[in-house]
Amino acid sequence: MYAVIDVETTGGSPSVDRIIEIAVIVFDGENILEQYSSLVNPHRNIDKYVTQLTGITDKMVRHAPSFEEIQEKILEITREKIFVAHNVKFDYGMVRSEYKRLGIDFVRKQVDTVNLSRKVLPGFTSYSLGSLCESLGITIENRHRALGDVEATVKLLSLILKQSNAKKYLEIEMNHGIDPSILPPNITLGEIEKLPEEPGYFYLKDATDKILFIEASKNVRREVIKFFNKAEGLPERQRAHEAITQIDYQPTGNELMARLGAYHEVKKLLPEFNKRPKEYKLTSAIFIITDQEGFKHLRVEKIEFADGEVTLKFQSRGTAQKVLHKIIVEGHLQVQFSLLKKITEPEQRENCKKSYNEKIDKAVRKYLYKNSNFFIVGDGRRPDENSVICVENSVYLGMGYICPELTPVNTESLRASITPYEDDLEIQKIIRQELRKGKGLKIINF
């Protein structure tokens, strides 16, 4: 039995956006048995783009029920059914996030009609719902409204199920995209199904509890499946494949914590099938030096240099010099300093000096972090928890978790929640990459 679902949302991120409309049709493969649809009050504004696309306005949802008010109906109508959607990752992710906010673990078998269509109905240039339905002669009433799109998805699913090869691919799709024949001899589909579809890192172990491999992901289950799918034809993976008897995992709440946690574990345990972390021997750094007049300058010195403020650290003097040159050229710092030296009027010179020094700070910081001292706060492992990462003087100090309901959130409590870890260039790279994504992370400067 299938529960075919479509949601419209305030935006595209399950971590911050909310459902504004949901439709569910219960389908047995031949007949529609039940249907339900409702607008949903998201208790936040709807993005203008979404309103243009769907026609759903803030006014329309103002007096609609909240997700909490309809959650029992959604649980009931989807219970013991296969959750089907066109791009199921999005719809399932949005529904799961709504339940997570309520402290409920929503788990259903899933089928994605995008993936299924690609396998069963190959050859189309586009597999978006609109393009595919147009190619197949399926009419969509009320496009980009939940009920209209879910009705079209039911018609598409019905057509797919009539194809001779549908059963095989449907089975793989319901098994989370994994063919049972590629699993290690001692791992069952049941063990895969127990894995969470949320951020964390996992351990692959042998019969003696020895850890063979560690990896991080924003979706643990999907990453484990990807590992097994790639085992075929790769000798190293194949050796691991034969030895694996257990899968363990650590939820983290968000991808940044997953990547840092996995990196710390790999560095400590050195699993056989992970690449060895690079050993970083830092010898040189770019320092900010202040001259007698109060002007700031950038200079490369040995890392032990004590007469300036260290900013960026490097494995070689040559690399440090290259980055320094790039910073100066991109910030036009040399030209600005030359012009500044020509100013003789004291007050104007003082104002320009202040502006120039700020540009020096900004130019060098953008190669590491925007600020020197900050906490990164993100989703925790439970709804009542936040993750915390601390960076002080541009050095990563560690990570941990805090419960805002039990502990007032301030600099002292955030710092107290941290488990200390050593900083290195790989950690800096991980933090910069995740900050650039900016999804669901809050920066608290101190």
Q: What is the pLDDT of residues 29-53, one digit of tens each?
A: 999 999 999 999 999 999 998 999 9
In terms of Cα–Cα distance, which of 357, 344, 339, 349 is closest to 298? 357
In this model, does residue 288 exceed pLDDT 80?
Answer: yes
Residues 252 and 306 in one domain: no
pLDDT band at 176 (very low <50, low <70, confident <90, very high): low
Residues 78 and 134 in one domain: yes
119-124: average pLDDT: 92
Q: Which of 335, 365, 395 is the last residue of a domain?
A: 365
Residues 231 and 199 in one domain: yes
Residues 334 and 433 in one domain: no
Residues 305 and 413 in one domain: no
pLDDT band at 363 (very low <50, low <70, confident <90, very high): confident
Residues 169 and 239 in one domain: no
Taking only the tens place, the pLDDT of each residue in 131-148 is: 999 999 998 988 889 999
**Would you state the pLDDT for residue 146?**
96
Query: C-alpha distances in angstroms, 172 versus 28, 132, 186, 425?
Result: 19, 22, 19, 41
- Determine, yes or no, domain membership for 351: yes
Q: Are 248 and 209 in contact (CB under 8 A)?
A: no
In this model, does residue 269 exceed pLDDT 90?
Answer: yes
Whichever domain contains 49, its CATH number is 3.30.420.10
Residues 14 and 99 in one domain: yes
20-27: average pLDDT: 98
Task: Using alpha carbons only, give the angle 432, 276, 258 rounded to the nearest 5 degrees.
Answer: 40
Determine the Cα–Cα distance for residues 80 and 364; give it in Å rounded to an integer.
Answer: 56
**Would you state the pLDDT for residue 233?**
61
pTM of the prediction? 0.63
- Determine, yes or no, domain membership for 66: yes
**Would you state the pLDDT for residue 242?**
85
**Would you state the pLDDT for residue 72?**
97
Helix, strand, or coil here: 88? helix
- In angstroms, the first-to-last Cα distance of the chain is 54
- Determine, yes or no, domain membership for 279: no
- Return the percent helix, strand and coil in the chain, to nearest 5: 40, 25, 35
350-374: average pLDDT: 84
329-337: average pLDDT: 82
Residues 118 and 252 in one domain: no
Residues 6+ apart with CB under 8 A from 58: 45, 46, 51
In this model, does residue 106 exceed pLDDT 80?
Answer: yes
Total number of domains constituting the chain:
4
**Would you state the pLDDT for residue 177?**
66
**Would you state the pLDDT for residue 431?**
95
pLDDT band at 124 (very low <50, low <70, confident <90, very high): very high
**Would you state the pLDDT for residue 232?**
63
Whichever domain contains 188, its CATH number is 3.40.1440.10
Residue 402, domain extent: 374-445
Higher pLDDT, 84 or 13: 84
